[in-house]
Homo-oligomer: A and B are copies of this chain.
């Protein structure tokens, strides 16, 4: 069974780690968000691809949910001494990955090629694809103007009011090589429990990808990142509200309108099951929180079962 997963960062990575335990990883293709990529000090950073890669390679700092376990921040301290802005914390081991990626891109390599190379060196058995080799940048409009996603997310700690979320460059971007082919050939397509606005939204904004999912709607299962009236983590809530989406499974279903056959929701949201059925979406009620590794595996099982 070929499984394709649309993935953001931490939440997605946990489910993906679970999936790799309950299916042959070689049959898993991950389409990762690059809308929150950024350039710092001339280095190309792909936070979501790296979070997924680090997690599946067993390198992730589990406590923080990002970066490499046990990493040090000595280069950052020197950059600070040199007067650079260091709000975006880059560990020393992490930095090596960005240096590696930037060097390849500088030589004309594509983001998909360097992502494949990183995945191989990390020993990943699954396939990790960026959504696009073209730059797509999520931007957040606040009362003080537009912010790059990481400025909003990290520098401003998600504190500003969100008026709008947009995907700069999306209109002229193309899906990375293999993305549409993987979606067309998938037996199952999973939309991970990631921020629908800033993690999955950019992927769906790449021309051709939303349509490819719509055509495979019967194969698509999403896992709701909204549980008990709020986002499990991150700024999904205020972003969804800014665009008029309720913080409920129905709100999530609204964002993925026309794309879903099934939506996995948490037990505490079981009351929403009828409303989902009314929209033609099969609700799958389970324990969807992934605090422990066992829960990742259990949730992955539920997601795969849904396709059988």
Contacts and interface: CB of A to CB of B under 8 A. Distances in A.
How many chain A residues sit at the interface, stated as a range, is 20 to 34
Contacts of A118: 82
Interface string A94-111: 111101101100110000
A82 B103 contact: no
A81 to B, nearest CB: 6
B71 A103 contact: no
Given A42-B102, A103-B42, A96 B75 contact: yes
Nearest to A76: B96
A134 interface: no
Contacts of A77: 93, 96
A42 B101 CA distance: 10
A41 B99 contact: yes
Contact of A93 (B75, B84, B100): B75
A88 to B, nearest CB: 13
A74 interface: yes
A43 interface: yes
B72 A97 contact: no
Nearest to A104: B42
Nearest to A39: B103
Interface in A65-89: 68, 71-72, 74-79, 81-84
A121 interface: yes
A84 B77 CA distance: 24
Given A42-B99, A99-B41, A92 B121 contact: no
A111 B74 CA distance: 24
A84 B91 CA distance: 19
A289 to B, nearest CB: 32
A279 B99 CA distance: 52
A79 B96 contact: yes
Interface in A3-31: none
B78 A96 contact: yes
A103 B118 CA distance: 23
Interface in A31-84: 41-43, 68, 71-72, 74-79, 81-84
B99 A72 contact: no
A99 B41 CA distance: 7
16 contacts: A42-B99, A42-B102, A42-B103, A43-B103, A74-B91, A74-B96, A75-B92, A75-B95, A78-B93, A78-B96, A78-B97, A79-B100, A81-B122, A82-B96, A82-B121, A92-B95
Given A42-B102, A78-B92, 11 more contacts: A41-B99, A41-B100, A42-B99, A42-B107, A72-B74, A72-B92, A74-B96, A75-B99, A77-B93, A81-B121, A82-B96
Q: Which 9 A-B pairs have the closest CB atoms?
A: A78-B96, A42-B103, A75-B96, A74-B92, A92-B92, A78-B93, A75-B92, A79-B96, A82-B121
